[in-house]
Structure 1
Amino acid sequence: MPARENTHALLPHLFRQEYARMTAVLCRHFGLEQIELAEDIAGDTFLKASESWAVDGIPENPVAWLYTVARNKVRDYLRHRAVFETKIRPGFTDDNDLTDHFDFDEGLIADSQLAMIFAVFNPELSAESQICLALQVLCGFSVEEIANAFLAKPETIKKRLHRARTRLREDRFRIVALGETDIRPRIDAVLKTLYLLFNEGYFSRTHDQAVRKELCSEAVRLNLVLTENPLTNTPEANALLALMCYQSSRLEARTDGDGQIVRYEAQDRSLWDQSLIDKGNYYLINAGGGETLSKYHLEAAIAYWHTQPDTPASAPEPTESRTAKTSKWQHILLLYDELLRVAYTPVAALNRAFAYARVYGNRAAIRETETLGFTETSDYHALLGYLYTSVDTSKAVDHYRRAIALSQSEAARQVLEKQLMCL
């Protein structure tokens, strides 16, 4: 494969993995007030990689190459820009200090990244602003992707980001080793951001691809940073990581050769990753040490049951008058009932209706779904289209057409159109 093709395949992955880590270490030295400078240096490093690797090929150790270039760019900047003379030079005795201060060792990177994760969550900002900032600074989300996560207009997100970044520069939070008082008021927003990041990758609504595995991988990586530090290794962090592992175990089976979504019941289970299921089990056990039952615990438990075998094929299908005994769907339905009490969302309500159909049949589930009244959402009509398929074909067609009209994702529209054609 030509060097250019290799570069195009590797660089996006490295950007997701290393850009935020590099920025965090730079902010540790420059201070958060110089975050734009840190982002510029990190961005220039990846720009040079895209130019150099396309010609010379990928180096033997591409990550080390990136950090060497970043370090050299810092030294060049400090020597030649006026800001060095007025704001930073007094802190160094000679140029040898530059070498000592900008070693990108793994311990420094890990500490800096954890601190950077929490730095963007200033309790004085609204929760929405904290999450918007984290999605952009830590995860590389575009304004469009953030707007979709909040169901807001891009212009609204731009203004929110501008205010949040201004406040971040003014914040006295330091990129240093964290204490419990730094973590406690910010941990909930951190977990919520990682949850949104994973969901955008698991079923992207703003991208041509239905599944964006790099976003799922980034969410898992950042969540691992939390579980690897004693101060942030909380039951909720473990529950969220368990959820991500269970969901990630089915990623290879969620799309077909054309990149279109494969419904759960049609997935090739030989493609499920048992090692990730095992990791999910491990983190779910670790999550059991707390006194509270969070939404992450409940969603992880639901995801666990989705990885378990269905009722044997020889067993009778459930009907309105007869439930399937000890079916995993009964467990899932009970967990959704509890989830809706803890953290009600339209998505959870619709997923519960799907589980209800697996226990009580499609006709009963149609009645449950129609009481929800989410008539202006694509997912609502997509579910009704699916449920009506075995009950009333004309109504199924009508709902699928309405779902297609309301969908904002090209990938989702393709799936819906394929289901419509099969009626």
Structure 2
Amino acid sequence: MNPNEITPHLFRTEYSKIVAVLCKKFDIKHIEIAEDIASETFLKASEYWAANGLPENPTAWLYTVARNKAKDYFKHLSVIEKNIGEEFKTTRTEQQSIIEFDIQNISDSQLEMIFSVCNPVNSQETQICLALQILCGFGVEEIANAFLSKTETIKKRLQRGRESLRNHHFKLDILHENDILSRLDTVLTTLYLLFNEGYFSKTNNLLIRKDLCLEAIRLILILTDNPLTNTPKTNALLALMCFQSSRLEARLNHEGEVILFDEQDESLWDQALIEKGNYYLIQACSTNTTDISKFHIEAAIAYWHTTSTNTDKWSHILDLYNQLVLMEYSPITALNRTFAFSKVYGNKKAIPEAESLSLTEHEYYHGLLGYLYAKINKDKAICHFEEAIKITKSKTEKQTLQRQINHLKETDTL
């Protein structure tokens, strides 16, 4: 395998694990130290692997280098010794024993990391931004996309958030039950955004990034293994991820262009993941609680999407979107609701519904109107698709929209 292909993948999956383990073991006051060590590890990997080829176990190679760099860092740099004091001046044997990159330690470290970063000294939005960057390895642009915000706004938010953590003596520690329960909603929202970026990415010209989806599922599975965090809302979010992931293989063609839901090959849907989604959705609804979250509703919507034989499924989906819009409005939710509305009442009646949203600066708004007008007014459909192309930054989306324009023009010439 080409090192240039595997290194970015490993960076996404292993960088945050290395940072979490280092922060936990050394109780580093400035988290940037752990991030620097992790970055240096990957820099060495990219240089060494390019010259010598991939090692037999690239992940273990990274952990060994990170471990050695951490030991050397604390042994040789006097500025670090001055900051951390005599308490951390251990022998080489002791150092080897305290930095372990086994599966359990990585999971524990990441779980403690995300709950520690989601500290109420910062606003919830800042907590989520920090968790996405530190734990999930998101860049500023990816976080800005997740929040539908400007990159400069996110940069300032991250800077203030990190400074606040430092001023409040940020450290990884075993949290009390009240801390975990009070921060769980923020943690779940972080994992929700992580999954969404993988499921419908706007960065790196990749519409789907399976590594992000898998990482989100891996982390939330850790939560379901802990009695404190194995809540109905946690299970609802996991159900949603399973249902959505079940259709990943059917969402792109061989050219990397998106395949609309109506055109997807259902034989490519992963039935095992659908069954897992059903299981976790049942778990989410099995307790006698009235606390129905947006994750419950979105999971139910995703469930109906996977039931291809039910003729009334779009009526169920529309009812659920009506609830979701009232619970937590967002432009994407409103547009998705309008799509479901078109499935129930037809494109002609859905057009006024869509136009009333007036989301003229949103590419999905124009993409939806292009879809709705396609069989009613091709000229208007083409205009909306062209407007969507102007707005979107995604190369993949531009290609998909252009394909739809070409298809409309071809039908005119037949």
TM-score, normalised to structure 1, is 0.90
Q: In the alignment, which residue of structure 1 is the partner of 2:37?
A: 41
Deviation at 1:63, TM superposition (A): 2.4
Deviation sequence 1:387-413 (CA, Å, 0-9, x none): 111122222222222222222322212
Contact 2:116/2:173 (CA < 8 Å) preserved in 1?
A: no
For 2:241, the equivalent position in structure 1 comes to 244
- Structure 2 vs 1, CA of residues 105 and 89 (structure 1 numbering), >3 Å: closer, same or farther? farther
Aligned counterpart for 2:386 among listed residues 379, 401, 407: 401
Query: What is the CA–CA distance in structure 2 between the aligned matches of 1:162 and 1:310, rounded to whole Å?
Result: 50
Measure the CA separation in 2 of the matches of 1:42 and 1:31: 16
Fraction of identical pairs, as percent: 57
Q: Is 1:369 aligned to 2:358, yes or no?
A: no
Distance of 1:12 and 1:310 partners within structure 2: 40
- 1:411 aligns with 396
RMSD over equivalenced CA pairs, Å: 1.9
Deviation at 1:375, TM superposition (A): 2.4
| Aligned residue type for 2:281 | L
Q: Partner residue of 2:314?
A: 329
Unaligned runs of 5+ in 2: 409-414
The answer to which of 258-267 and 283-292 deviates more is 283-292
| Residue 173 of structure 1: how far off its partner (Å) | 4.8
Which of 11, 17, 27 is the aligned partner of 1:15? 11
Kindly state the Cα deviation for residue 14 of structure 1 after the two structures are TM-superposed. 2.1
Rounded to whole Å, the distance in 1 between the matches of 2:102 and 2:43 is 22
* TM-score, scaled to structure 2: 0.92
What SS is found at the alignment partner of 2:137? coil
Q: Please state how far the C-alpha of 1:131 moved relative to its aligned partner.
A: 1.4
Whether 2:62 is the aligned partner of 1:66: answer yes
CA shift in 2, pair 1:376/1:74, >3 Å:
closer
**SS in structure 1 opposite 2:173?**
coil
Supply the distance in 2 between the matched residues of 1:81 and 1:11 (Cα, whole angstroms). 28
CA distance in 2, matches of 1:25, 1:170: 22
Distance in 2, matches of 1:31 and 1:93, equals: 14
Secondary structure of 2:30's counterpart equals helix
Deviation at 1:18, TM superposition (A): 1.8
Task: Note the alpha carbon deviations across 1:249-279, whole angstroms, 9 max, x for none.
Answer: 1111111111111101111112111111112
Q: Could you tell me how far apart the structure 1 residues matched to 2:101 and 2:269 are? A: 36
Q: Where does 1:13-412 land on structure 2 (aligned, <5 Å)? A: 13-88=9-84, 90-91=86-87, 92=89, 94-288=91-285, 289=287, 290-310=289-309, 326-412=311-397
Q: Give distance in 2, aligned partners of 1:406 and 1:103.
A: 47
> Partners of 1:407 and 1:34 in 2: how far apart?
37
Q: Report the count of equivalent residues.
A: 405
Shift of 1:156: 1.8
CA distance in 2, matches of 1:114, 1:285: 25
Q: Deviations over 1:8-52 (max 9, x none)?
A: 232222222221111111111222413111111112222222233
- Work out the CA distance in 2 between the residues paired with 1:95 and 1:382: 60
Q: C-alpha distance in 1, partners of 2:46/2:132?
A: 24
**Closer/same/farther in 2, CA of residues 41 and 357 from structure 1, 3 Å limit:** same
Residues 1:93 and 1:42: Cα distance change in structure 2 (over 3 Å): closer
Kindly provide the amino acid, as one letter, of the partner of residue 103 in structure 1.
E
Q: Output the CA distance in 2 between the equivalents of 1:49 and 1:31.
A: 26
Q: CA deviation at 1:213?
A: 1.8
Checking the alignment, whether the CA contact within 8 Å between 1:111 and 1:177 is kept in structure 2 is no
Contact 2:132 / 2:143 at 8 angstroms: preserved in 1? Answer: yes
